[in-house]
Structure 1
């Protein structure tokens, strides 16, 4: 550990900093002491990087991800805050060498220790995966051997040296020799990738050799994808247990639960397992580190603001402590798992939930079994579209306010009764959504916890319309259109609109690069400059009422009297398709555009080359004002408008309608989707359906 420098802070929140555990291009990790003298590890972004919103967002996202894991195999969150624009995260300090250091200094572990290591790490991975996460960077440097057993640290896709976990340009997204083949190839990653990495960890622990090695990174990555691992140094009894972890097909690898059961030695209970880590040179090293750290941090017990008692030590005292002679914290042995969140009781956050399994094909007329639900937990009547972010779906709650259910099983995650269901909710970025309370205060919240990230008290929100990472757009009760800047967290502009935010029909909108498109209740399509709120261009009478536009890149797509693709910047018509009646709102996906009109559903190329996908009569010739939802091979369409009757699943590949959900239900409906799950809300109920 290095002493504090003159550019280092002395205190962050309730923590006094003692010394520098490590640093890299993104930030520093400090040894710190709480007010009670207990040690903590505090990670801080460098001042010159703290203003970078993307880096700060990723810093916070990684931190929130950890809180989802409720496991003794990871470190406990102590607190976090953003002070003076510098985010910091504090966790319990882990005393002990990393597995990488232990093998380098003391040689391979014996077979019983490897078995216990495998069982403990597999149990932790089981907890990680149960929280809907994939660690993605399981390796010896991310495993700390404490006196109570191994602890998994540093949940991140990739991390620079010294335990800092933000990726910079040009960095390899996986650790060579430990990332699974699907990670190396940039394919979809599941928990099976962690199993592959665990196998590589166990090879090093048992043999002192890497499963994959080579003269340079490219050679190692090539070997991971195309060659067999080197298992020659494994004890014969472990070979058949470790080898299945390296199967090329992720689906053929064992689960963490199976690994934990296979490796646990017979008769090894919790007490006996702990004894392995409480004897020998590893234990002695861990205890020596722990004693020295406690001595240093106990010497820095200080009162917080307003506290009485021991005076804060001087700068010179801190430097002397940091430079202490016999300190045993070199090389990252005090590395900790970096988390965030305010130091109060909140639901655990999470990363992205694992995608639901796809159905094999789909038979016409046969409705699949719901993934979960229906649950009678939603508000009744016309509803704003739910928001699906990370591991939750957010919508208006039955008993008032907003609520979030876990997308995996429909269990309750959080409820915020103070939030306005009428104002709605819109995604701001991949972690946060915007909402409002009854007073009109704009609130931007973490979707997974419901915790408030920031707010604007005098915003006057009556109805949220759209949001991007740069701005949030909404109507006020005075029928004004207003924008709030997300970077400055202040009102950017306000313009007159004349739109009613609480009528039976309210405007619909979409935001894109430099433009906000609003489809008003009178059918006009108005596109404003997001910088100042001035009208960039307008199409009068585009539809008979509000109809949600769609934006992709520099093109805006809108239904109504014609299906039209406009240049987003100036409204130039790039192509247009007339129909036998009004067109509904278009839905975009990477392969094309889906829209209903004249009692039929159509599939288009985005350049306007129509591909007739379905010739099927819907229950009404009127297009639904609900946008189709594309998920997997299926496209979900609310049938009709004035005479809505259920939600139908249409197959893109089979070019046919397969089945309808609640055909007898005239709605109104709200539909949202993500991760191979489709969420249908109607009559106070929500159900999650699979796709193919």
Structure 2
């Protein structure tokens, strides 16, 4: 009888926690206070309901909080190479720091540096975290849908979407599972200190609180978000900027999802590229332009004549570094003043030609991109510290249509088809 009474009591407590924490799917639900949530859990239940569905944890009796996560281990910086010290021969590129052949899925997904690990789409499905130091696999999560993107949450957690549309999180350095939210997600957009922003399975934008995994708001958006992971987001200063698949850029208020401003048809096809510094948003598409992040007011835009062939000119890959923006005009990288939009002391016409889809990465003293020469492509680094600005050119890529580069802690990470490697910087 005592056992039966205990089970009945647990059932009642679980039911009470569901009532306390259940969030309706439609509209903008009232968030559950953190004290109310933790009080219900402390009553003896081990279930948290989010979006009307239960997410289970092994709740520890020592007060361990799945939302209170310490920062990940700091990324150990690689040493920048110096030709004067004999680290490499001028005119010759040094060897990669490490290589991991066949480490990646054959479906492209950008790698994500998070302190001492690099999160990638794993060869056998899901995601995997590789050590930035030697490329070894630190942990993996096979049930994650890698094409739905993955995000760093303040360098503490990695957020992703599993095959059921659940928002899942893992400790960045170890892969330990933490909180989940059944958010019916198709893909992730971005995150700030308060929420994770995503596209739902039915094409709406949803914000999930990072403090308790409840849904903050869900809103439709007047833009074509495209297929899964086609649109991207950038969250900063109480704005969520969505670069939609139809070429429009819209900004939502992160407090309630209200659309604050929108600019349509900024590209001839596909989504625009964006980056920002402070309250200035830089957008690359038909033109390179800067907007006030708060209200969408245009601050400046470039005058871009058509190419000699008659084809329209276009911009891509804006990378903002303080008051400077680097971007690619058709195939040539250009450096401009973010405040005025005017070119600064150089325009690298002829010195470096980039693939139009290549990111521009600032790492060490170099500007890194994938350079093209006819049918071939290779990683090239332009030395920004030298008057003559010599370059490094690494071996030709085997997969011109399936590559990506990104950088962190004096390393440039290269995806070449299913191969992953880390390149040194100077």
- In 1, the alpha carbon distance for the partners of 2:284 and 2:127 equals 31
Deviation at 1:549, TM superposition (A): 1.1
Tell me, yes or no, if the aligned pair for 2:241 and 2:251 is still in contact at 8 Å. yes
Partner residue of 2:190 out of 449, 454, 466: 466
Considering Cα pairs closer than 8 Å and 6+ residues apart, tell me whether 1 or 2 has the greater RCO: 2
Tell me, yes or no, if the aligned pair for 1:522 and 1:546 is still in contact at 8 Å. yes
Deviation at 1:619, TM superposition (A): 5.1
CA distance change for structure 1 residues 501 and 431 in 2, over 3 Å: closer, same or farther? Answer: farther
- 1:482 matched to 2:206: yes
2:396 is paired with a residue whose SS is: coil
CA distance change for structure 1 residues 685 and 559 in 2, over 3 Å: closer, same or farther? Answer: same
Structure 1 segment 518-537 matched on structure 2, within 5 A: 518-537=242-261
- 1:83 matched to 2:83: no
The equivalent of 2:154 in structure 1 is 429
Tell me whether 586-595 or 404-413 shows the greater mean CA deviation.
586-595
- In 2, the alpha carbon distance for the partners of 1:427 and 1:573 equals 30
Tell me, yes or no, if the aligned pair for 2:331 and 2:353 is still in contact at 8 Å. yes
Tell me, yes or no, if the aligned pair for 2:333 and 2:353 is still in contact at 8 Å. no
Partner residue of 2:286 out of 550, 561, 581: 561
RMSD: 3.0
TM-score, normalised via structure 1 length:
0.47
- Structure with higher strand content: 2
Runs of 4+ displaced beyond 6 Å: 79-82, 84-88, 640-644
Larger Rg: 1
The equivalent of 1:682 in structure 2 is 416
- In 2, the alpha carbon distance for the partners of 1:376 and 1:492 equals 40
Deviation at 1:616, TM superposition (A): 2.4
- In 2, the alpha carbon distance for the partners of 1:401 and 1:642 equals 35
The equivalent of 2:114 in structure 1 is 389
Tell me, yes or no, if the aligned pair for 1:525 and 1:539 is still in contact at 8 Å. yes
The equivalent of 1:600 in structure 2 is 332
Deviation at 1:677, TM superposition (A): 0.8
- In 2, the alpha carbon distance for the partners of 1:87 and 1:546 equals 34
2:265 is paired with a residue whose SS is: coil
State the number of aligned residues.
353
The equivalent of 2:73 in structure 1 is 351
CA distance change for structure 1 residues 607 and 476 in 2, over 3 Å: closer, same or farther? Answer: same
The equivalent of 2:349 in structure 1 is 615
**Unaligned segments of structure 1, at least 5 residues:** 1-49, 52-78, 89-339, 342-348
CA distance change for structure 1 residues 591 and 575 in 2, over 3 Å: closer, same or farther? Answer: closer
Partner residue of 1:492 out of 212, 216, 221: 216
- Structure with higher helix content: 1
- In 2, the alpha carbon distance for the partners of 1:87 and 1:488 equals 7
- 1:658 matched to 2:382: no
- In 2, the alpha carbon distance for the partners of 1:392 and 1:86 equals 21
2:314 is paired with a residue whose SS is: strand
- In 2, the alpha carbon distance for the partners of 1:645 and 1:549 equals 24
TM-score, normalised via structure 2 length:
0.75
Deviation at 1:393, TM superposition (A): 0.4
Partner residue of 1:411 out of 122, 136, 142: 136
CA distance change for structure 1 residues 499 and 391 in 2, over 3 Å: closer, same or farther? Answer: same
The equivalent of 2:166 in structure 1 is 441
Tell me, yes or no, if the aligned pair for 1:582 and 1:623 is still in contact at 8 Å. no
Deviation at 1:81, TM superposition (A): 6.7
Per-residue CA deviation, residues 422-458 of structure 1 (Å, 9 max, x unaligned), is: 211011212222101100110122111111221112x
Deviation at 1:596, TM superposition (A): 0.7
- 1:632 matched to 2:357: no
Structure 1 segment 327-342 matched on structure 2, within 5 A: none
Per-residue CA deviation, residues 273-312 of structure 1 (Å, 9 max, x unaligned), is: xxxxxxxxxxxxxxxxxxxxxxxxxxxxxxxxxxxxxxxx
CA distance change for structure 1 residues 423 and 86 in 2, over 3 Å: closer, same or farther? Answer: closer
Per-residue CA deviation, residues 324-366 of structure 1 (Å, 9 max, x unaligned), is: xxxxxxxxxxxxxxxx99xxxxxxx961132001011576652
- In 2, the alpha carbon distance for the partners of 1:631 and 1:407 equals 15
